[in-house]
A and B are shown apart, each in its own frame.
Chain A
Amino acid sequence: MAKTRNKNIQAKLVFLGDMGAGKTSLVSRFVRGQFSDFQESTIGAAFFTQVLSLNEATIKLDIWDTAGQERYHSLAPMYYRGAAAAVVVYDLTSSESFERAKKWVQELQRQGNPNLIKFLVANKVDLEEKRKVGNEEGELYVKENGLYFLETSAKTAHNVNELFYEIAKKLAKAAPSRPTGMRLHSRPQETGRRHSSPNLSNIRLFHLQVKWIKIKQRNGFSASETPTKHIA
């Protein structure tokens, strides 16, 4: 394990939500920078990893992207067990998908880890003309239920990096400042203020950082070799 000056965090992140909401597309857009209109349906779950570098920490995300069909629900605990963060995705052109998302949130609230960082994501914001679930509905729901909210589009990449960046930031905040790599399972989370739009000034820097890490990785550097000091 590479020793670095800032925090080295490894965390499990799980994506949940109705079938066709765009879970795989969001992850694939972020990890591979790719989008396809017809994403293969996920069976069981798919696994991805991605390293994010923030000023304060390097975060390795183990991402579990789960199958959306209702009957696969019974498999979900296997994937969210031990997760530090969860993203519940719905398709904003479908009210059913929003209802399913609420059920997921309820389940997550009862699953036993009160420090789980939870995001609600309304995907497909590029299909504004077909929208069935208003922005304010999502906002209201997260206000009542204590989670974070973003509207995204995996297709146009709108808010996709921001989503992962926000998660990483919250994970970094929640992790105690011990210098070595650690697993972040159920660390106490700071009583966070809820906010639904990421800090924009940092986002551009973040984009550069992510791009840079990806280039490094493509050139054969392993994640642990990735320098962690970027922009002070």
Chain B
Amino acid sequence: MHGAQSKRDLAMELQAQLPILRPSIHTRRANLTVKFQDLYGFTVEGNVDDVNVLNEVREKVRQQGRVWWALEASKGANWYLQPQVSSLSEGIVLKSSLKFSALANAMTLKKLIRKGIPPVLRPKVWFSLSGAAKKKSTVPESYYNDLTKAVEGKVTPATRQIDHDLPRTFPGHPWLDTPQGHAALRHVLVGYSFRDSDVGYCQGLNYVAALLLLVMKTEEDAFWMLAVLLENVLVNDCYTNNLSGCHVEQRVFKDLLSKKCPRIAAHLEALEFDVSLVATEWFLCLFAKSLPSETTLRVWDVLFYEGAKVLFHAALAIFKMKEEDLLLAHQVGDVINIIQRTTHHLFDPDELLTVAFNKIGFMTTNTISKQRKKQEPEVMKELDERLRRLNSLREDDRDLVDKNVNFEGHILYIAEFSLNVNS
């Protein structure tokens, strides 16, 4: 009896010690990497928990689909595409319609979209709510086909860079990395490079356009989504000549971080860590290269309805989620590792979006635009000084052919800018 008791005690004791003696069981399970395909066909490497999370996400997506169908049944087909409802983001709901039902619908839609648009409905909902449908309706029906035909066989610096990047855009993806996938992506990117020669082709757009193709299914719709994104949704000049818009966004982001997450901002500053080191890629690829596909697309769901402020919400949330870990980091490398581990494993979109919309606090597109205006002159001045320095470098080098082209472009650029300032 006594012996049995002590044996049991010993067993219990051992059991209690087990995690201490063999912590590696848990670590090993967590570290075991499995390869699997996510909802959009991307091969992801993750641990067992990630697989479980992804399965839960699949289930949530199905449930969310049922919610959308139920609403469709009660409110009528395409209720969310009514102009009074879909224009919430433009803030003209109250002016254009005093109908309470429309306002209620708009509020419902906003909440619904933050919870995610079901993948089957995404093409239709995005196309309408983003303004792509409207944009397309202002040109002849054959615009896209004509454009594609007109540019066929033309070679420009942009097309050369696009061709170079086609096989380097999500290599290994079961559709994107096939001849058909490459051809479709090429049409969209080349077409756009001719539509807007200021943008031409900017690396980063390859990832954005590739995801748009996966969602929208047709080249033409993906093309219009890309157009509305660059011309209406995002800030101007994000992708043009010297990425000035991107520089502005980064400064605004830094400001917002110190307002919304002052402890993190102060700590990172003490480490001499510039948040742009990680955030530049987020803003240029709209997270396509950093977050798992469904999480990226959930950010885009809201982006197309509520505007570019959503990118700031998501970016701030990534820092906010890891506040405690980040405050313990002592080196730049640690910070980057924490952030990258977080983004790569964010398989549950709600984990990110809950923080993004509930814990960051209220921001309006308007306040962000004001911030941008404030930062613009400083950015322009900096870029201008840099360019001047580089040009003076080039003066020394008589072999450079493109010197004058760059220089003239630059003068025009300054002239344009000073006009803007004066007006």
Residues of A within 8 A of B (CB): 10, 19-20, 36-45, 47, 49, 62, 67-69, 71-75, 77-79, 82, 99, 102-103, 106-107, 110
**B336 contacts partner chain A, Cβ-Cβ < 8 Å:** yes
**Chain A residues positioned under 8 Å from B400 (CB to CB):** 99, 103
Complex CA gap A39/B276 in Å reads 23
**Chain A residues positioned under 8 Å from B247 (CB to CB):** 74-75
> Closest CB of chain A to B162's CB: distance in Å?
11
Among B377-423, those with CB < 8 Å from A are: 383, 386, 389-390, 393-394, 396-397, 400
The one of A36, A71, A74, A106 that contacts B393, using a Cβ cutoff of 8 Å: A106
**Chain A residues positioned under 8 Å from B276 (CB to CB):** 75, 78
> Closest CB of chain B to A217's CB: distance in Å?
13
Given A72-B203, A78-B276, the answer on whether A20 and B164 have CB atoms closer than 8 Å is: yes
The one of B161, B244, B246 that contacts A19, using a Cβ cutoff of 8 Å: B161
Residues of B within 8 A of A (CB): 161, 164-165, 167-171, 202-204, 206-207, 239-244, 246-247, 272, 274, 276-277, 280-281, 284-285, 289, 331-333, 336, 340, 383, 386, 389-390, 393-394, 396-397, 400
A49 x B333 contact (CB < 8 A) = yes
A41 x B285 contact (CB < 8 A) = no
30 contacts between A and B (CB under 8 A): A10-B331, A19-B164, A20-B164, A36-B171, A38-B167, A38-B171, A39-B171, A40-B171, A41-B165, A42-B203, A43-B207, A43-B280, A43-B284, A43-B285, A44-B280, A44-B281, A45-B280, A47-B277, A47-B336, A67-B203, A69-B161, A71-B202, A71-B240, A71-B243, A74-B243, A77-B386, A78-B276, A102-B397, A103-B393, A110-B389
Question: What is the predominant secondary structure among interface residues of chain B facing chain A?
Answer: helix
**Chain A residues positioned under 8 Å from B168 (CB to CB):** 38-41
Complex CA gap A37/B285 in Å reads 22
The one of B170, B280, B331, B396 that contacts A75, using a Cβ cutoff of 8 Å: B280
> Closest CB of chain A to B341's CB: distance in Å?
12
**Chain A residues positioned under 8 Å from B333 (CB to CB):** 47, 49, 62
A75 x B389 contact (CB < 8 A) = no
Kindly report which residue of chain A lies nearest to residue B203, judged by CB atoms: A69
B277 x A43 contact (CB < 8 A) = no
Given A74-B247, A74-B386, the answer on whether A106 and B241 have CB atoms closer than 8 Å is: no
A41 x B280 contact (CB < 8 A) = no
Give the one of B161, B170, B244 with max A CB within 10 A: B161
Give the one of A37, A68, A69 with max B CB within 10 A: A69
**Chain A residues positioned under 8 Å from B167 (CB to CB):** 37-38
> Closest CB of chain B to A183's CB: distance in Å?
10
A43 x B243 contact (CB < 8 A) = no
The one of B202, B242, B277 that contacts A78, using a Cβ cutoff of 8 Å: B277
Complex CA gap A49/B332 in Å reads 11
A110 x B203 contact (CB < 8 A) = no
B243 x A72 contact (CB < 8 A) = yes
List 13 extra interface pairs beyond A42-B203, A75-B247, CB under 8 A.
A40-B169, A41-B206, A43-B203, A43-B281, A44-B280, A44-B281, A62-B333, A71-B239, A71-B243, A73-B242, A74-B244, A74-B386, A103-B394
Complex CA gap A215/B333 in Å reads 21
Kindly report which residue of chain A lies nearest to residue B334, judged by CB atoms: A49
> Closest CB of chain A to B421's CB: distance in Å?
20
> Closest CB of chain A to B179's CB: distance in Å?
14
Which 4 pairs across A and B sit closest by C-beta, in order of nearness? A44-B280, A44-B281, A38-B167, A74-B242
**Chain A residues positioned under 8 Å from B383 (CB to CB):** 74
**Chain A residues positioned under 8 Å from B394 (CB to CB):** 103, 106
**Chain B residues positioned under 8 Å from A41 (CB to CB):** 165, 168-169, 203, 206
Given A69-B203, A110-B389, A110-B393, the answer on whether A40 and B161 have CB atoms closer than 8 Å is: no
> Closest CB of chain A to B200's CB: distance in Å?
9
Complex CA gap A49/B336 in Å reads 10
Kindly report which residue of chain A lies nearest to residue B164, judged by CB atoms: A20
> Closest CB of chain B to A19's CB: distance in Å?
7
Give the one of A36, A62, A71 with max B CB within 10 A: A71
Kindly report which residue of chain B lies nearest to residue A73, judged by CB atoms: B242
Complex CA gap A73/B389 in Å reads 13
B243 x A19 contact (CB < 8 A) = no
**Chain B residues positioned under 8 Å from A45 (CB to CB):** 277, 280-281
> Closest CB of chain A to B170's CB: distance in Å?
7
Complex CA gap A78/B168 in Å reads 25
**Chain A residues positioned under 8 Å from B340 (CB to CB):** 47
Complex CA gap A153/B240 in Å reads 33
> Closest CB of chain B to A25's CB: distance in Å?
11
A62 x B332 contact (CB < 8 A) = yes
Kindly report which residue of chain A lies nearest to residue B204, judged by CB atoms: A43
Complex CA gap A38/B272 in Å reads 34
Complex CA gap A74/B242 in Å reads 6
